[in-house]
Amino acid sequence: MRCGSIATAVSLDDRVPIQGVLRYSLYAFAGGEFSVFNSNEVHMIRSILLCIVSVLPIAAFAHAPDGAGGGFLTGFLHPILGYDHLIAMVAVGLWGAFLGDRALWILPIVFPSIMAVGAAVGILGVGLPLVEVIIALSGVVLGALIVLKFRAPLQIAMVVVGVFALFHGYAHGLEMPEQTSVVTYGAGFVIGTGLLHMIGVALGFLTRLPRGELMIRGCGGVISLVGLTYLVG
């Protein structure tokens, strides 16, 4: 089964929710047992994980000079290799999983959507103030929200995430290499961002493990500290 058809099956088949996929991922690395899934579900989830893992070597060997490998890989690697971007995007997924309910999937949709708007603003060359400061501040704030277990209303969480996404996207657009396709570059950084959100969401399911909440709050603390180094550096 191809990766695209598997992803469609997961999104349409209520028997294998995305939460189940992420939970399976965590327990798989921990060597746990999976009596909650039947054999067909386990086979499908393993196929999904195989598809995800199969793209990692491409990313690993794609760190080439600007423009090499096409605009997609350049855009895909931009949020992953920029640690100020990486910590904030993982934090969004982590906070969404921590808040639970609709925030689990709404925040990881809001961020790349507003980020694309910010990228367009950056590509057009429109000026925004304090871009690097707000990007660094996003890691500090989102990490602190996780540490403090701050359960904001969904609308407030969307605004917070949306504001930070605008500036992250602006930086992506402003730093787009010349002679690079806007479409492929944009698709790359949106997919890279989505991958980081998924990692954050997956980490968020650690709250179901003993002392898992403490581990998640520790991750939030690390994110805040890394963001602080960018803020004062």
pLDDT tens by residue, 94-104: 998 888 888 88
> What string of DSSP letters covers 60-113?
HT---STTTTHHHHHHHHHHHH-HHHHHHHHHHHHHHHHH-TTHHHHHHHHHHH
Least confident of 32-46, 131-145, 193-207: 32-46
Alpha carbons within 13 angstroms on the beta-carbon side of residue 194 total 14
Per-residue pLDDT, averaged over 104-112, amounts to: 90
> Could you count the other beta carbons within 10 Å of the beta carbon of residue 141?
20
Given this model, what pLDDT does residue 86 score? 93
Look at residue 99 in the predicted model and tell me its pLDDT: 87
- The answer for residues whose C-beta is within 8 angstroms of residue 72's C-beta and 6 or more apart is 184, 185, 187, 188
Neighbour-count burial for 151-163, b at 16+ CB within 10 Å, e otherwise:
eeebeebbebbbe
Instruction: Return the pLDDT at 39.
Output: 58
Greater pLDDT, 206 or 115? 115
Q: Confidence class of residue 111 from pLDDT cuts 50, 70 and 90?
A: very high
pLDDT at position 57: 42
Q: Please give the pLDDT value at position 50.
A: 52
Higher pLDDT among residues 6 and 79, named by residue: 79
Q: Within a 10 A sphere around the Cβ of 97, how many other Cβ atoms?
A: 26
pLDDT of residue 165: 95
| pTM of the model as a whole | 0.69
So what's the pLDDT on residue 162? 95
| Backbone angle region of 163, left / alpha / beta, with phi > 0 → left and psi within -120 to 50 → alpha | alpha
User: Looking at the predicted structure, is the pLDDT value of residue 193 above 80?
Assistant: yes
Quote the CA–CA distance of 52 and 199 in Å, as a whole number.
Answer: 12
- Please tell me the predicted confidence (pLDDT) of residue 70: 62
d(CA 84, CA 134): 10
Report pLDDT digits (tens) over 123-165: 888 889 999 999 999 999 999 999 998 999 999 999 999 999 9
Q: What is the mean pLDDT of the chain?
A: 76
Q: What is the pLDDT of residue 65?
A: 41
